[in-house]
Structure 1
Amino acid sequence: MQVVSIGSCLVQPAEPTWNGPMPLTEFDQSGYLAHVRTIYFYRPSETWLTQKKTIYRTVRNSLSRILVHFYPLAGRLRWLNGARLVLECNGKGVQLIEAEVDADLDDILGDLTPSPDLRLLSPPINYKYPIEETPLVFVQLTYFKCGGIALSFSISDAVVDGQSALHFVSEWANLSRGDSLRNPPFLDRKLLRAGDPPSAKPRFEHKQFDTPPLLLGESSCENESNKETVDAMMKLTKIQVEKLKNEANRTSPYIYNDRVFTRYEAIAAHIWRCACRARGHLYEQPTGLAVCVDIRNRVQPPLPRKYFGNAIVDVIATGCSGDLVTRPLGYAASRIREAINEVSNDFVHSSLDYLKNLKDFSGVQDIHPTNTNQGPFYGNPNLGVISWMTLPVYSLDFGWGKEIYMIPGTHASDGDSMILPGHDGDGSVVVALCLQADRMDDFKKFFYQDI
């Protein structure tokens, strides 16, 4: 597949916006700081198909108008001492690329199995370029021979989390259709800052920051992180989801506080166990599972509903591979529940204090999507499972109809996974997973065999 760029421009806010430095929270500046990619596929109506430039103008003009309300995304990051960052709101704009591909939409989607070629539908981002000159948002509009289109978004994870990114994209689609802004973003990040001065001694252990990743019997993760990876998207029907949830809850001794395990806990536990088996771990192999916990309603007072930024905390569930595989599913789910239960208001503020006390942030940052030797590493024997099950990931209509398919943006590293709602709203879910190539077939076998 060959994708040819036919145009590129910087899209700036349609009206003057506030300019100046916007301090970022400690959560914004730690963890994964590169761009996260999502691709939507459309079959516009016959009216739209004959008017490529109409589609492009619609995208460009509505993007310019939505940036008036979400103006931080039109700015640039800037390094401070100690690998800290500040967001310069300067209206420089986001990158919009127009491209063509020598293929039909059906040829690309095929059996809906992710292909490395699909990454060509998102613009390449050069992370060797100065961060002060790198846009926070890249958008690529790609035309297929059949008249179908792909619209991809790559948005900096240093500025927003998944919920905030989808808020931006949803409101952009509303404006593109001619609707008005429904929910303005809450842009003040002072509500989620460490104390000044921070507590000298955090009240909790923060192994997600200060503990080296569990390794596969080696002194570094270099060998594992250099292995070839592949992507897969695996569907679970509503019946299969319920079966996993019931199986996790059937082992009642592991249930905490009489609360049944959630869909996420049951599915994540299943993914964890299957990964341990597919990777061929020894019984005594330690393994960790990273969980992203939304803290909007866990802090006191709760954050505004449309808080715009990173409002998630990573916690690590740990276990022994042999125990996870041989014990009932409820055991693995209980390890995940135990990690999630740590996240209280006090834990969140202790995390902020811990980070603010760091003299240098570089040890808690991953600034390049393929550089797994820097910052946290969740490859073999570890993994991460993000949930988008409750987020509005579908029905994104820019004026030419809703998408026919969507590919989520994982970090393309071994062990990255995401759980999404099924596209048809029938209670099914889709698990998007990146795993070492020589482990994927075994994973798929165990994934369905054990249900």
Structure 2
Amino acid sequence: MAAPSSTLVFKVHRREPELVRPAKPTPYEVKLLSDIDDQQGLRFHIPVVQFYKHAPSIRGKDDPVAVIRRALSETLVPYYPFAGRLREGPNRKLMVECTAEGVLFVEADADVRLTEFGDQLQPPFACMKELLFDVPGSNAVLHSPLFEILASCLWKCRTVALRPDPKETMRMICLVSMRGKFSYPPLPIGYYGNTFAFAVAEAPAGELCRNPLGYALDLVRKAKGEVTEEYMKSVADLMALTGRPDFLKTRWTYLVSDVTRAGFETVDFGWGPPVYGGPAEPDVGPVPGLANFCIPCKNKEGEAGIVLAISLPTQAMERFVKELESMLKSPPNETKTFTHVMSAL
């Protein structure tokens, strides 16, 4: 597989930023975010990129920029809060003022071909800072249910790679969606806020490394199984009572977001689905390597699979790869013992 060159260089010409407004008049109102949505730990951007092949069939038709601009304007009619602005009220409570001001849109041209990014597109991408214009603005978060086995495997391998004190408590955050599961009162029709809870699996680093994968898997399943409607409501109450604390302060916390069902790879503006669609970077958030993604992908033969985008320090990454390879080659149910070395990674 050809990989993108680390020396890939190209020029980008950006037009002046513009605001794309809803195509029709929309209501003015203020919508409060839930205490789950406006947590301090969720206030960061998740960059997403879509790559499309050139489609000769649309030659002579609308310029792609015009198509996207028009589609965005029409989409902002039913989803009009996205054309508004985030405001912060008393006690840092977030709300959306539906002002119809529009979303920032920047047209740009780059003198680079898609083939120069490699045969199989997956993050990290070369020169991503050139392709994505970093614009301050509202924060967004996208999460889907975890793949339990993959998450457990990542948690265990990552712990081995980081070499924490065996007595250190390691935490795996499991995102559990409750959309469509509330009995009374049900979520109102059209509610598009987040409805997930953070279930947390915990284990001493030594136990997590020493035991087989099934140990981590049982902890993840148990944590997810504890998320009920009552649990979800209690989380919302806790956020309100404690001022929505930041859950990302410890380096021994780990979160994996599954975006395999988010649908980025199906977005079609008229010239076919993207060659790649999804997260533009392997990790997000205020702490490097704390939150990673499971991303859908296809190889050159068109076979579907999943890319696990991992971010670790160089030496830790080498140990991660070694541990993962060892795990894949081990017979089922084999119990392994690991020797720990103290480190200040």
Query: TM-score of the superposition, structure 1-length normalised?
Result: 0.63
Q: CA deviation at 1:427?
A: 5.8
Which residue number in structure 1 is paired with residue 133 of structure 2? 123
User: Paired residue for 2:221, among 332, 337, 341?
Assistant: 337
Contact 2:146 2:256 (8 Å CA) reproduced: no
Comparing 381-390 with 4-13, which one deviates more in the overlay? 381-390
Q: Equivalent residues in 2 for 1:231-246 (5 A)?
A: none
Which residue number in structure 2 is paired with residue 420 of structure 1? 295
User: Paired residue for 1:447, among 324, 330, 333?
Assistant: 324
Q: CA deviation at 1:420?
A: 2.9
Which residue number in structure 2 is paired with residue 271 of structure 1? 154
Which residue number in structure 2 is paired with residue 34 of structure 1? 44
Where is the helix percentage greater, Structure 1 or Structure 2?
1
Task: Provide the C-alpha distance between the structure 2 equivalents of 1:430 and 1:305, rounded to a whole number of angstroms.
Answer: 34
Gaps of 5+ in 1: 127-133, 137-155, 164-261, 365-374
Which residue number in structure 2 is paired with residue 247 of structure 1? none
Which residue number in structure 2 is paired with residue 314 of structure 1? 198
SS in structure 2 opposite 1:125? coil
Task: Provide the C-alpha distance between the structure 2 equivalents of 1:436 and 1:99, rounded to a whole number of angstroms.
Answer: 33
The alpha-carbon distance between structure 1 residues 20 and 56, as it changes in their structure 2 partners (threshold 3 A), is: same
Which residue number in structure 2 is paired with residue 401 of structure 1? 272
Which residue number in structure 2 is paired with residue 75 of structure 1? 84
Task: Provide the C-alpha distance between the structure 2 equivalents of 1:332 and 1:378, rounded to a whole number of angstroms.
Answer: 22
Contact 1:419 1:429 (8 Å CA) reproduced: yes
Which residue number in structure 1 is paired with residue 342 of structure 2? none
Contact 2:146 2:174 (8 Å CA) reproduced: no
Comparing 402-411 with 299-308, which one deviates more in the overlay? 299-308
Question: Across the two proteins, how many residue pairs are aligned to each other?
Answer: 310
Which residue number in structure 2 is paired with residue 184 of structure 1? none
Which residue number in structure 1 is paired with residue 306 of structure 2? 429
What is the percentage of aligned positions where both structures have the same residue?
A: 26
Which residue number in structure 2 is paired with residue 243 of structure 1? none
Q: CA deviation at 1:274?
A: 0.7
Which residue number in structure 2 is paired with residue 291 of structure 1? 174
Deviations 1:212-242 (A, max 9, x none): xxxxxxxxxxxxxxxxxxxxxxxxxxxxxxx
Contact 1:22 1:88 (8 Å CA) reproduced: yes
Task: Provide the C-alpha distance between the structure 2 equivalents of 1:305 and 1:390, rounded to a whole number of angstroms.
Answer: 21
The alpha-carbon distance between structure 1 residues 116 and 319, as it changes in their structure 2 partners (threshold 3 A), is: farther
Q: CA deviation at 1:379?
A: 6.2
Which residue number in structure 1 is paired with residue 124 of structure 2? 114
SS in structure 1 opposite 2:310? strand
Task: Provide the C-alpha distance between the structure 2 equivalents of 1:305 and 1:420, rounded to a whole number of angstroms.
Answer: 29
Task: Provide the C-alpha distance between the structure 1 equivalents of 2:126 and 2:204, rounded to a whole number of angstroms.
Answer: 33
One-letter identity of the residue aligned with 2:18:
C
Gaps of 5+ in 2: 1-8, 329-345
One-letter identity of the residue aligned with 2:105:
L
Contact 2:278 2:295 (8 Å CA) reproduced: no
Task: Provide the C-alpha distance between the structure 2 equivalents of 1:349 and 1:421, rounded to a whole number of angstroms.
Answer: 32
Task: Provide the C-alpha distance between the structure 2 equivalents of 1:99 and 1:444, rounded to a whole number of angstroms.
Answer: 38
Q: CA deviation at 1:386?
A: 1.4
Q: CA deviation at 1:161?
A: 3.9
Task: Provide the C-alpha distance between the structure 2 equivalents of 1:447 and 1:407, rounded to a whole number of angstroms.
Answer: 24
SS in structure 2 opposite 1:394? helix
One-letter identity of the residue aligned with 1:439:
A
User: Paired residue for 2:165, among 278, 282, 287?
Assistant: 282
One-letter identity of the residue aligned with 1:77:
L
One-letter identity of the residue aligned with 1:299:
F
SS in structure 2 opposite 1:28? coil
Q: CA deviation at 1:97?
A: 0.8
Q: CA deviation at 1:21?
A: 1.0
Deviations 1:76-125 (A, max 9, x none): 01111111111100000001111122322121345545135223322213
Contact 1:161 1:309 (8 Å CA) reproduced: no
Q: CA deviation at 1:353?
A: 1.4
